[in-house]
Amino acid sequence: MSEPAIDRAPTFEAADDLDAINRLYREKRWSDGLPIVPPTAARVERMLAHSCRGRHEVVANVAPGFGAATVERIAVNAVMAGCDPEYLPVLIAATEAVADPEFNLQGIQATTNPVAVWLVLNGPVSKQLQVNATFNCIGQGSWANATLGRAMRLILQNIGGAQTGEMDRATQGQPGKFTFCCAENEESHPWQPLHVERGFAATDSTVTVVGAEGTMNMNTHAKHADELARVIAETMVHPTSNEYVHGGEPWFIVGSEHAEIFRREGWDKARVKRELWERSKMAVKHLSAKEIDRARASRTPELGELGDDTLLPISPAPDDIQLIVAGGPGTHSVYVPCFGNSRAVMRRIES
């Protein structure tokens, strides 16, 4: 029996002229604004050889356009982004993850908020694919990080239909919407890595998708856990945060030097989460009047009546705060405020 035509990625003939192909992709708005690698049949075939799933199998329907993300269409976008063929299973798992209702992809894709989709890799896959977890891990310079994050964006745009100014309504957006991907540094880690914390084996490879509003660097030479937790918590407090309004899921990329301070003083991950959660509570009165109305609509069932002096926790519970360890040497950690109406989703990467 033949496959239904709807599941086939369309093909067309083009001259072997990179400039002309890029002009076409620019005119059709199939690119993210940067030149692409032409997804020729041969390149797509090489990519498909790295998945045991059928090329026309629908991995997910991607909001807000609900395009069918077949394995083949994911591969086409991965080629365009410059991915090595071995990266395909990561993108299949990530596409499944973004479509999980917990992630709220409809909201993330169509909102005015600058939210980007951040990919976090754990397990052996990071070394196998050389996904950077150390120096400049969310910056430039690592092929896997750059192209995996870019491929995710192209999937969201081309399969999900979130074109700038049409269904993607971001007021300004952010640079992370071009690409945003790193691995966790599991070798320089005082605690369990993220995937083990969430019930996977250390030998499993996983990808986690996070609705990340941006990155806020935190440079502190604090020497003790108590002081470090205090300054991080005070950085979290900001009255224009979606997280305080809705009860969010803030993320942190803890630098290895800061992680070492917590380890030295015996603070486990649960302790760090609890201390940050307690110390980052913000009085309702710091919000604007309109945000107080929004917070009441979102959080009254969780917190009861909200008065001016009610202390709002950033998330419903301490365990909603998410910590990974990554980055090179230095006194920096990163606060990644999140969209609020979203929860990160982790999927195992099947090779």
Closest CA to 337 of 211, 233, 228: 211
Closest contact distance (angstroms) between CB of 157 and another protein is 13
Tell me how many residues contact another protein (CB under 8 A). Answer: 11
Query: What are the tokens at 144?
Result: 């896997």
Residue 167 sits in the site that holds another protein (CB under 8 A):
yes
Stretch near another protein under the rule CB under 8 A, chosen from 48-56, 65-73, 182-190, 249-257: 65-73
Residue 166 sits in the site that holds another protein (CB under 8 A):
yes
3-state secondary structure of 322: strand
Q: Closer to another protein at the Cβ: 65 or 211?
A: 65
75's enclosing H/E stretch is helix 71-81
Closest contact distance (angstroms) between CB of 169 and another protein is 6
Closest contact distance (angstroms) between CB of 150 and another protein is 23
**Considering only residues 33, 165, 266, 301, which one is a binding residue for another protein as defined by CB under 8 A?**
165
What are the DSSP calls for 39-52, one per residue?
A: --HHHHHHHHTT--
- C-beta separation of 244 from 310 below 8 A: no
271-290 residues near another protein, rule: CB under 8 A: 290
Residue 149 sits in the site that holds another protein (CB under 8 A):
no
Closest contact distance (angstroms) between CB of 290 and another protein is 7
Residue 28 sits in the site that holds another protein (CB under 8 A):
no
Q: Closer to another protein at the Cβ: 28 or 290?
A: 290
Residue 156 sits in the site that holds another protein (CB under 8 A):
no
69 φ/ψ sector (left φ>0, alpha ψ -120 to 50, else beta): beta
Partners of 346 in the beta sheet? 208
- C-beta separation of 284 from 242 below 8 A: no
Gap between the Cα atoms of 140 and 118, Å rounded: 15
Q: Closer to another protein at the Cβ: 294 or 348?
A: 294
Mark 105-134 with x for binding to another protein (rule: CB under 8 A) and - for no binding. Answer: -----x------------------------
Q: In this structure, what is the dihedral angle of CA atoms 257, 211, 317, 234, given to the nearest 10 degrees?
A: 50
Gap between the Cα atoms of 53 and 347, Å rounded: 16
Gap between the Cα atoms of 52 and 110, Å rounded: 32
Residue 65 sits in the site that holds another protein (CB under 8 A):
yes
Binding site for another protein (CB under 8 A): 64-67, 110, 161, 165-167, 169, 290
